[in-house]
């Protein structure tokens, strides 16, 4: 329970991060209002691949990406797309982003991410305990599929980082792989099954159930667009949302890829881009993989969700405003035909979302210099579903003046203000 007196806290954004922060603050006895312009899981947390990807600590900016990327954007069968008209807007973010594509930074980023995502299954089980949301969590292996062992060996340096950080896996080849899971074993002859992972059987339903648990215990869910964070004499007083003033002792910004604007209003320019990603869902298929599979060559995930297979992946740069492009959907469907030729299904659905991407691939979990009472939790790139509960817990601690028992320097927003 809260040390006296309970605080009133506004959390902006009801994605995985915001809902986690709201629930954990409520459980510590505080009065919490969760505001989202769409409602729970209205943003990126709805459509991700659903993996509790604890070992996904390697950023996109690996050594070699600068050499490979130009060829990839010109090839519609590669999972990197660019809306060319967006390039001038992208460049001031892209240049510092690509500067991190070196071994030292990859190791540093992986280490920082591992503290946020490393215990994800347990973190989600704790968050959902005693709520309806528990039913959507499935402990499982997360399997990387390779054409053959040479493809895995070619990426050894990155697997060494995972090994050093304590992630463990079982390797399968040939017939053993087919016995383990025949789903993609015609085209793939080597696999690495990461242990102690998990998945969410329907991310939108999961977050909606967590939000229901929050309102059932007296939390307020408010549907409105937040325009401004209010502050007087260096201290927040609340927010302006949908033309109304809502007062609070503390404000938490968990608006994912949309967080940059409010940070800027408070005087902090975070170099944040939207890494657009896509999914297609194939409903009521004739077969499913046992566990989620990452097709390493195509960099997309095949997740066996409730009643459907979700294929998710692709990185597209094109900003927050433009609608979905056709080419990434075509690529995902091409992959279905190429890798799963005998798969059939009844219906298809499609989605595009925005991964929140700071240049250094490390989320911001921080107070804000110059405005007391405001905290920021965003920028989780490809692992925001995975890292939501831990981030929420850390935000709840920061906002209630409880010192986290880990070094928070890597996540501090001040790294962008120096």
Interacting residue ranges for ligand FAD, rule: CB under 6 A: 12-18, 35-38, 42-45, 48-51, 53, 225-226, 254-258, 277-279, 312-313, 353, 355-356, 378, 380, 382-386
**Helix, strand counts (H, E) of the chain:** 12, 19
- Smallest distance, Å, CB 255 to ligand FAD? 4
Measured from the CB atom, the residue of 29 and 42 that comes closer to ligand FAD is 42
- Smallest distance, Å, CB 123 to ligand FAD? 11
Measured from the CB atom, the residue of 43 and 238 that comes closer to ligand FAD is 43
- Other Cβ atoms closer than 10 A to 358: 24
Nearest to 191 by CA among 107, 277, 302: 302
Measured from the CB atom, the residue of 37 and 189 that comes closer to ligand FAD is 37
Measured from the CB atom, the residue of 7 and 113 that comes closer to ligand FAD is 113
The full length of the chain comes to 418
- Smallest distance, Å, CB 377 to ligand FAD? 7
- Smallest distance, Å, CB 379 to ligand FAD? 8
Residues 48-87 as b or e (16 or more Cβ within 10 Å = b): bbbbbbbbbbbbbbbeebeeebeebbeeeebbbbbeeebe
Measured from the CB atom, the residue of 278 and 416 that comes closer to ligand FAD is 278
For residues 323 and 277, the answer to whether their CB atoms sit within 8 Å is no
- Smallest distance, Å, CB 175 to ligand FAD? 29
- Smallest distance, Å, CB 333 to ligand FAD? 15
Q: Could you give the C-alpha distances from 283 to 25, 63, 79, 307, in angstroms and in order?
A: 37, 38, 23, 6
Measured from the CB atom, the residue of 181 and 316 that comes closer to ligand FAD is 316
For residues 312 and 47, the answer to whether their CB atoms sit within 8 Å is yes
- Other Cβ atoms closer than 10 A to 236: 22
Measured from the CB atom, the residue of 17 and 331 that comes closer to ligand FAD is 17
For residues 45 and 385, the answer to whether their CB atoms sit within 8 Å is yes
Q: How far apart are CA 196 and CA 175, in angstroms?
A: 23
- Smallest distance, Å, CB 306 to ligand FAD? 15
């Amino acid at each position: 329970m809260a040390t006296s007196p309970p605080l009133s806290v506004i959390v902006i954004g009801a994605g995985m991060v915001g809902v986690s922060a709201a629930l954990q603050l409520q459980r510590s006895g505080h009065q919490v209002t969760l505001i989202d312009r769409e409602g729970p899981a209205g943003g990126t947390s709805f459509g991700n691949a659903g993996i509790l990807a604890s070992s996904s600590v390697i950023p996109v900016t690996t050594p070699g990406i600068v050499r490979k990327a130009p060829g990839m954007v010109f090839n519609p069968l590669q999972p990197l797309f660019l809306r060319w008209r967006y390039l001038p807007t992208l460049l001031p973010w892209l240049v510092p982003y690509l500067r991190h594509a070196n071994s030292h930074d990859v190791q540093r980023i992986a280490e920082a991410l591992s503290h946020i995502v490393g215990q994800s299954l347990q973190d989600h089980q704790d968050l959902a305990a005693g709520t309806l949301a528990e039913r959507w969590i499935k402990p499982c292996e997360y399997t990387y599929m390779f054409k053959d062992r040479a493809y895995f060996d070619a990426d050894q340096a990155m697997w060494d980082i995972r090994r050093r950080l304590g992630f463990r896996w079982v390797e399968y080849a040939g017939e053993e792989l087919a016995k383990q899971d025949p789903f993609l074993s015609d085209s793939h002859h080597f696999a690495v099954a990461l242990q102690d992972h998990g998945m969410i059987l329907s991310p939108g339903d999961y977050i909606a159930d967590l939000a229901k648990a929050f309102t059932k215990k007296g939390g307020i869910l408010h549907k409105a667009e937040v325009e401004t964070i209010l502050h007087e004499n260096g201290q927040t007083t609340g927010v302006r949302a949908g033309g109304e003033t809502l007062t609070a002792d503390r404000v938490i910004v968990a608006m994912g890829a949309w967080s940059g604007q409010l940070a800027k209003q408070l005087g902090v320019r975070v170099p944040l881009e939207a890494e657009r990603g896509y999914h297609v869902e194939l409903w009521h298929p004739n077969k499913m993989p046992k566990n989620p599979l990452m097709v390493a060559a195509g960099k997309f995930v095949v997740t066996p969700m409730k009643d459907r297979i979700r294929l998710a992946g692709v990185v597209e740069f094109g900003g927050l405003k433009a609608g979905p492009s056709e080419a990434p959907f075509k690529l995902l469907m091409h992959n279905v035909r190429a890798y799963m030729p005998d798969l059939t299904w009844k219906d298809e659905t499609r989605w595009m979302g925005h991964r929140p991407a700071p240049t250094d691939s490390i989320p911001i979990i921080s107070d804000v210099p110059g405005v007391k009472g405001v905290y920021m939790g965003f920028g989780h790139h490809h692992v925001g579903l995975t890292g939501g509960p831990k981030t929420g817990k850390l935000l709840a601690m920061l906002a209630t003046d409880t010192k986290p028992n880990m070094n928070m320097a890597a996540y501090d927003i001040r790294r962008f203000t120096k």
